[in-house]
Amino acid sequence: MLISVILAAGQPVVETPVVTGSPRIEAENPCSYDLESMLKLDWRAFDQDMNGGWRLLSRRDECKLAAAELIREWRHEKRSHKHVLYWHEGQLRAFAGRNQEAIALFRLTYKDVNDDAQFGWNHYVSGSIAFLSNDRESLRNAMDRLKDVPPPADKSMKRPDGTVSEIRWPPNLNVLEAFERCWGKSYAEAYGSDECAESDPK
């Protein structure tokens, strides 16, 4: 399978087991964690807990790739093909500058056209791949298609922590606009910097 070939990166460093399911952060090796404890977590605890699982490890810039490898290990252990895991692993690899690896993972997250007709996820995926592929015309085309997705009557969404908020419509357009605004910069810079973010959000 393509992913197993492309993503044959180094394995994470595993330290002495700890009782928690969160990464073990140490001064000597800030990217170390207890792999056994991580693999025991269910999907919600591993991926949706904003303060646990792979996310705590990924907060350090130098640990993005280690967090990506952790997601890969968890996917293989659980035999999980959840699109969101491919996406998050791809993002982490993009943050680490592994663009081709990220593109391969992003391509696994496309949804059936009929299932995506009212959300526009596929346009976001295409725009992200276009940015990583240095294809500005395709990025702009993806933005135009995303803008054409009609808004639903109810734009609220429930977050993993249980809070409900309104989705800014169309979803993820602000990210693609940041890519366009900061064309030529790295994924990490374009995605997360104040310079690339919209200065006057509506």
Q: Convert the pLDDT of each residue in 56-96 to its tens digit.
A: 999 999 999 999 999 999 999 999 999 999 999 999 999 99
Question: Are 27 and 118 found together in one domain?
Answer: no
Domain co-membership, 118 together with 77: no
Q: Which of 107, 123, 156 is the last residue of a domain?
A: 107
Q: For the whole model, what pTM was predicted?
A: 0.81
Distance CA 105, CA 20 (A): 29
Which domain, by its residues, includes 71?
A: 1-107
Residue 3 buriedness (CB in 10 A; 0-12 / 13-18 / 19+): middle
Say yes or no: 126 and 172 in one domain.
Answer: yes
pLDDT band at 153 (very low <50, low <70, confident <90, very high): confident
Task: For residue 161, name the pLDDT band (cuts at 50, 70, 90).
Answer: low
Q: Are residues 75 and 170 in the same domain?
A: no
Query: What distance in Å separates the CA atoms of residue 176 and residue 181, rounded to the nearest whole number?
Result: 9
Give me the chain's average pLDDT, please.
85
Which domain-ending residue is among 53, 79, 107?
107
Token pair of 75 as six digits:
């996917």
In the chain, the number of structural domains is: 2
Residues 150, 200: one domain?
yes
CA 167 from centre of chain: 18
Q: Where are the alpha helices (DSSP H) in the chain?
A: 2-6, 35-39, 43, 53-58, 64-78, 83-95, 99-106, 113-116, 121-132, 136-147, 173-181, 187-192
Same structural domain for residues 147 and 101? no
State whether 42 and 116 are in the same domain: no
Assess whether 28 and 119 both reside in one domain.
Answer: no
| 17 pLDDT more than 50 | no
